Every structure is written in C-alpha cells, then in structure tokens.
Amino acid sequence: MYNLCSSTNCSSDRNIFPLLEKEYIALDLETTGFSPANDRIIEFSAVYYVNGEDVDRFTTLIDPDKSVSNSASGVNGITGAMLKGAPKEEDIVWEIAEYIRPALEGHMFLCAHNARFDIGFLSALFERYGIEADLRYVDTLALSRRYFKGLKSYKQSAVADYLDIKRDVEHRAEEDAVVCGMIMRRICEQQKIDCT
C-alpha cells in the first residue's frame, strides 16, 4: 500500500503526480460508525477522473444488516428506512471490486479525504470476502495541509470553500467523492508550481 501522506518532498512527488494527472479514482463512503472491524459501509461512491475530468461514477447504498446509529444518521442523513431494499454487502462487493479494479490491482491510485478512514473500511470489506487488494492511495487531507498553507480548517468542506469548489450537499458519498476528486485536481496543479 502506498500512502502519499508519507511523501515529504517534491522530488518524491515528481514520480507520483504525473500518474495522478492522467487518472485516479476519487472515493467516499458513509458508514454505521467508526470501526472498520465492527461497523459497515452503508453508502459507497467512486468517481473516475481522467486528465482531471469526472468521466464516470458508481454509487450505491448498502444494507448493512445492522442498525444505523443515530450519531451516524445525524452526520450523513442516511436512515435504516432508506437502506431497505438496497443490496447487501455480499451482493454488491463484487461490483465495487470490478469498478475499482485498476486500483485494486495497484495500477491506479485511489484518493480520499482522510483516506485512512475510507481505505480502512474498504480493505476490511474486501478482506471479509477474500478479495486481494493492492490499494495505492493518496490522502487529499494531508496533501491539502501541505499545499494550501494557513487554512483554519482542513476538513473537506473548508478546503472546497478555499478553492471555490461548488457543492450541493455534504456527507453523502457521491457529492463528497466528486469534491475530493476536484481537490485532487487542484493539488496536482499546485504541485507543478511548488515543484518547479
């Protein structure tokens, strides 16, 4: 697993950013709680970016076969009633794996804001079903701290506001994945300035 958060200088970034400028998959997910071992994904979204443009999306609700806590619903607005009739994870996991197959095989980077959270849940999901995953990822939270100095907050909404990235809703997977992908594009543009 390659975590770009550990990269500390432009010379090491020069090897990674040309790949990210070509393509990456931005992702976001909503969960029943904070523990990848005990909680479950209830919404998954992946947005495929090519040359910085959003070219394809995959989003699904997932029935976790467990109750959604009030605290989780309070953040993402997803209730148990909304998940009735949604696919169960054992039925959707293969479709998720197929959609992100280039990243799953280590040929492309995933990006997420506070990526350890999302990657932790995604890795736990794949492990439950015996799916091999060589996930290489970048964290737009860590990179925003590095490339956009002096912000009061680096949560995704604050970074989006700083970059004038428009958004309709927060804490729903598809919108957050799109915004994450747009932040990644701006980071790629910024690193060209900082690394020249």
Q: CATH: 3.40.50.300, 1.10.8.60, 3.40.1190.20, 3.30.420.10. Which one for 4-194?
A: 3.30.420.10
Cα 167 to Cα 23, 178, 182: the distances in Å are 22, 9, 11
Locate the domains of the chain by residue range: 4-194
Q: Is the dihedral of CA 23, 146, 157, 95 positive or negative?
A: positive
4's tokens: 């770009």
Chain centroid offset of residue 48 CA: 11
Residue 31's pLDDT is 95
Going by DSSP bridges, is the β-strand pair 23-31/53-61 parallel, antiparallel, or unpaired? Answer: unpaired
> For residue 52, which of 17, 8, 21 has the smallest C-alpha distance?
21
Q: Is the pTM of this model over 0.85?
A: yes
Round to whole Å and give the CA distance between 170 and 147: 23
Quote the CA–CA distance of 187 and 191 in Å, as a whole number: 6
pLDDT of 85 = 95
Greater model confidence, 196 or 81:
81
Segment 21-49 shows an average pLDDT of 95
Instruction: Please give the helix or strand (H or E) that residue 45 lies within, else none.
Output: strand 41-50
| Per-residue confidence band for 46, with pLDDT thresholds at 50, 70 and 90 | very high
Tens of pLDDT, residues 51-67: 999 999 999 999 999 98
- Over the stretch 143-180, which tens digit does the pLDDT of each residue have? 999 999 999 999 999 999 999 998 776 668 999 999 99
